[in-house]
Amino acid sequence: MAVTLQVLYPVGDGTTFDHAYYATTHMGLVGEHMGAHITSAQASKGLAGGPDTPAPFHAIATITFADQEAMGAAMKASGPVMADIPNFTNVEPQILIGEIYG
């Protein structure tokens, strides 16, 4: 069954996030090191949390894998991707692994 890895970068006092670097360099590293195991990948820039509500996240990445095995293989190859995080943010990312059912 297909699974997703979502990486959420919450907004907080003093947090920073370089969207240009993330979109070009970081997502490029995702493709380079994990891409062979990925079905699809996309990232969304937080704009709002609702009407007149600031965005609760700087960005959310959603990466889809064919199954848990593919995600495991991608994670084994993710060292350079993980090491790159401090280059674009000072946020501790939140992770959600999910099973696609709808």
User: What pTM did the predictor assign?
Assistant: 0.94
pLDDT at 102: 84
For 66-76, b/e burial (b = at least 16 CB within 10 A) is: eeeebbeebbe
Query: Which residues of the chain fall below pLDDT 70?
Result: none
Residues in the chain, total: 102
Nearest to 46 by CA among 60, 61, 25: 60
24 contact partners, CB below 8 Å, separation of at least 6: none
